[in-house]
Structure 1
Amino acid sequence: MKKIFITIFIFFAFFSCKDNAAGTSKKIEQKGETAKYPSDVLPFMDEWTILLGDGTHKQDLVNFEKKDFFYVENNGKTDWVVYKTPNSGITSKNSSNTRTELGQKKHWTPEEGGKLTGTLKVQHVSTSGDARVAASYSVVVGQIHSDEGHKNEPLKIFYKKFPGHTKGSVFWNYEINTKGDNSGRWGFSTAVWGYDIAVVGATPTTFPKEPEDGIALGEEFSYEVNVFDGIMHLSFSSEGHETKTFTKNLLKSEYSRKTDMPEQVKILYSAIGRDGVERENAYSGEIQFFKQGAYNQTNGKNPEDNIVWSTGSETYDGDIAKQYKNGSYTEVWFKEATVGPGVLPDKGNE
C-alpha cells in the first residue's frame, strides 16, 4: 500500500512540475479560491498592450500579471486591477516618467472618435517632490495620445495630492498640437474637483491650503471620455461630489494666436519659455489612441531645469524595492473600465 501511495505521489508531482515549467496560464489556488488575472476583472485586456515600470512590454494581456506592477487585489468584496510604478525605472524613449499603463491597440482620428471609461481609486502618489513643481505628487490615470506629428496629448487626466493633505485634486490637461516647432508646446489644465495643475507651493516644502472639494486617497471616482465627430466630451462623477462635464473641440484650435494663451499658461510656463501657438485645425486628421493606468508624473530630475515637470523626487538610484518601501511610487486601482467607438452624446447630461 505504501508503495502504491509513493507511485501516485510521484505521478502527480511530475505533471504538476511539467505544467509550471511550460509556463502555462494555469491559475493558482489561494485560500480555496481561484486566483484572478487582470483580464478576469477587466475583460477588455485583449484591446491593449502594456508597459510596466520595470520596462516590461507585453502585447498579450489575457491571463497576464506581474507581481508589484500589474495584478489583482480584493478588498473583501470587490476585485480591483492594480497599476503600480516607481518614481524611477525603465520607461518609454520619449518620457522621463515611469508608467504601468495600458496602450490601446486600435488607433483612430478625432473625426472617427472613440470612447474610454474607468472607475478607480488612487491608493498612493509619491510623497517626495518639490512643491513648486506643477507635476509633483501626481499621477495620470487616463490619456488620449497622438501617434503622429509631434505626438502630443490632447488629454491627460490627473490626480494630485500634496503631502499631509487628506484630499487631492482631479483635473484634466489639454496639450496644444503646436504649430511649427514643438519646443513652444504647453498644456492648459481644468479643475474637476480641487485645484488645477497650476496651484503650487511658494517654496519646495510649503503647500497650498487643502482643497475643500477634493478627492481623498482610496476614494472612488469615474470618468468617461467620448470623442464623437471631433468633439471631446468629458464626464466625471464621484459619490458625494458634483458631477462635472466638459467639451473640447479637437478639430479647431482656441489657441492659434499669441493673444489666445490663457493666463494660467503664461504664469506656469513663463519660467521655461514655452509660448507657442497651436495649428488652426488642432488634432484634425491625426491618429490617436487611448491610454489608461498609472503614469507616474514624478521623477528625480532637477526642478531648476524645468519648474513645471522636473519634480526632484526621491528615486534611491532606481532601486525599485527601496522606492516602494519609502513612498517613492504611485498606485492606482481600477474596478471597471471599457473602451470602444465614440457615441452620440446625451445632450441632457451636458
Structure 2
Amino acid sequence: MAQLDPSKAPSENFDLSKWKIVIPMEDTKPERKGKVMEISKAELNEDYQHAPWFYTDKESGAMVFAAPNKAMTTPNSSNARSELHALISDNTSIGPYEPANNFVLASHPDADKFGAIGGKMNATLAVDHVSQSGDHRHNDSFSVVIGQIHAGTNEPLKIFYRKLPDQNYGSVYWNYENNALGDDYHRRLDISHNVFGKAKIRFGEPEPTDGIKLGEKFSYEIQVDGNVMYLEFTKNLESKIPITRSFAIDLAKGHYLGNKYDAGYKNEWFFFKAGAYNQCSTGVVRCKNEGIEAGDYTQVSFYQLDIKH
C-alpha cells in the first residue's frame, strides 16, 4: 500500500480519476435541487472532501466514508450512502450509464461497444462503526455494504459487514442477487455466502469469533475475467499467517444454485462501487435516526482502493 498523508485530500492519496461520488445530503446545485449530492469526477479530483461524510482521517490518512441512518438518497433506494461509482471512460461529456463507462462479460453479444470486458477492484479497509439501533430480525440492521458490482437492474455482488451491538465480532459476507427479469422481477432473491463469521445472526446467538472486529483491517479483491467473477477476502493482514477465503461464480450461466428464475448476467452491463452504503434505515429495519452522537450511522475507512479495466 502507498503511504497515506493525513494532511491531503482523498484524491491526493488515492487514484480517484475513474470515480464520481454520492454524499448523503441534498445537492447544492440549482439544477439538482431536491436530489442527493453528486460530485462529478472532475470535482472529486479537485481535492474534494466534505466531513463528516467523506474526508481524510487526520491521523491515519485513510479515506473515510460515513452515512447516517436517514438522509437524502438516490431515487431507487431508501438507504443513505457515501459511495464511489466507477466510470471507465475519460470522456466527461457522456453519462455514467453510457456503454463506454461500463463493462460487460465476454458473453455479451455487443461486448465491443462497451468500455471493457471484465475488470478488477482491490480494497484494504476497516469498518469503524455500524448503527447501534435496528431490528435484529432484519438482516440489513447493523450492516453496511462496502463494495459492489452493480448491473443495469440487479446486483451480482454486494459485500456486507454486519455486527450486532452486543457482540465484539462482526461478519463479512457477500450476496449474489439472482437476475430475475420481466414478469419474474418480483422473484429477485439475495443469496448469501459467508466469508468471515456468518450472515443472519440474531440476538442471543453465539457471536462469530471467526469474524472481524470494528477497526480491524481486511481486504477484498474482485476480478471479473471472461464470464467468471473471482472473489478473494483476506484478514489478519498484519499476521505472519493471513487467512484468505476465495470464491468463483460464472455470472453468465444463470440458474445459480438451482434458482430457476435466475437468467444470469450474460447480457448485462456493470460498474464497480465502493464506500459506505448504510443498510440501516428508519423503515422496516427500524433503525433510529438521532444523530452521529447517538451512534445512528455507519463509517468505513479505506487504506487502499484500486480499479483496473
Residues 1:71 and 2:74 are matched in the alignment: no
Q: Which residue number corresponds to residue 194 of structure 2?
A: 191
Distance 1:34 1:192, change over 3 A: closer
Pick one of 260, 273, 285 that aligns with 2:267: 285
Deviation at 1:315, TM superposition (A): 1.7
- Output the CA distance in 2 between the equivalents of 1:110 and 1:165: 40
Structure 1 residue runs of 4 or more that deviate by more than 6 Å after TM superposition: none
Q: Which residue number corresponds to residue 141 of structure 2?
A: 136
- Output the CA distance in 2 between the equivalents of 1:255 and 1:115: 22
Which AA in structure 2 matches 1:190? H
Deviations 1:28-73, CA, capped at 9 Å, x for gaps: xxxxx98310111212x11011001113110021111111111001
- Corresponding residue pairs, total: 264
Residues 1:41 and 2:18 are matched in the alignment: no
The aligned runs of 1:16-27 (5 Å cut-off) are none
Which AA in structure 2 matches 1:299? S
The aligned runs of 1:72-111 (5 Å cut-off) are 72-75=56-59, 78-106=60-88, 107-111=102-106
Asked if structure 1 preserves the Cα contact closer than 8 Å seen for 2:6 and 2:58, the reply is: no
- Output the CA distance in 1 between the equivalents of 2:151 and 2:299: 25
Q: Which residue number corresponds to residue 169 of structure 1?
A: 171
Deviations 1:121-145, CA, capped at 9 Å, x for gaps: 0000000000111111000000000
Q: Which secondary structure state, in structure 2, belongs to the residue aligned with residue 183 of structure 1?
A: helix
TM-score (structure 2 length as normaliser): 0.82
Q: Which residue number corresponds to residue 226 of structure 2?
A: 229
Deviation at 1:192, TM superposition (A): 0.4
- Output the CA distance in 2 between the equivalents of 1:35 and 1:222: 24
Asked if structure 2 preserves the Cα contact closer than 8 Å seen for 1:87 and 1:328, the reply is: yes
Asked if structure 2 preserves the Cα contact closer than 8 Å seen for 1:255 and 1:277, the reply is: no
Pick one of 176, 180, 200 that aligns with 1:178: 180
Asked if structure 2 preserves the Cα contact closer than 8 Å seen for 1:171 and 1:193, the reply is: yes
Q: Which secondary structure state, in structure 1, belongs to the residue aligned with residue 243 of structure 2?
A: coil
Which AA in structure 2 matches 1:192? V
Q: Which residue number corresponds to residue 326 of structure 1?
A: 294
Distance 1:209 1:64, change over 3 A: same
Distance 1:242 1:98, change over 3 A: same
The aligned runs of 1:253-292 (5 Å cut-off) are 253-255=254-256, 260-261=258-259, 277-279=261-263, 282-292=264-274
- Output the CA distance in 2 between the equivalents of 1:70 and 1:336: 15
Q: Which residue number corresponds to residue 209 of structure 1?
A: 206
- Output the CA distance in 2 between the equivalents of 1:143 and 1:187: 13
Q: Which residue number corresponds to residue 53 of structure 1?
A: 24
- The structure richer in strand per residue is 2
Asked if structure 1 preserves the Cα contact closer than 8 Å seen for 2:126 and 2:217, the reply is: yes
- Output the CA distance in 2 between the equivalents of 1:162 and 1:335: 24
Distance 1:34 1:210, change over 3 A: closer
Distance 1:86 1:238, change over 3 A: same
Which AA in structure 1 matches 2:54? F
Asked if structure 2 preserves the Cα contact closer than 8 Å seen for 1:122 and 1:218, the reply is: yes
| Unaligned segments of structure 1, at least 5 residues | 1-32, 262-275, 303-310, 317-322, 342-350
Which AA in structure 2 matches 1:332? V
Deviations 1:198-256, CA, capped at 9 Å, x for gaps: x232xxxx342110201000000000000000100000011155200000111101348
- Output the CA distance in 2 between the equivalents of 1:217 and 1:178: 35
Residues 1:219 and 2:216 are matched in the alignment: yes
Which AA in structure 2 matches 1:333? S
Deviation at 1:180, TM superposition (A): 2.6
Q: Which residue number corresponds to residue 117 of structure 1?
A: 122
Pick one of 279, 288, 294 that aligns with 1:314: 288
Q: Which residue number corresponds to residue 246 of structure 1?
A: 247
Asked if structure 1 preserves the Cα contact closer than 8 Å seen for 2:7 and 2:61, the reply is: no
Asked if structure 2 preserves the Cα contact closer than 8 Å seen for 1:162 and 1:207, the reply is: no
Which AA in structure 2 matches 1:183? H
Asked if structure 2 preserves the Cα contact closer than 8 Å seen for 1:88 and 1:97, the reply is: yes
- Output the CA distance in 2 between the equivalents of 1:129 and 1:286: 34
Q: Which residue number corresponds to residue 303 of structure 2?
A: 335
- Output the CA distance in 1 between the equivalents of 2:151 and 2:224: 14
Larger Rg belongs to: 1
TM-score (structure 1 length as normaliser): 0.73
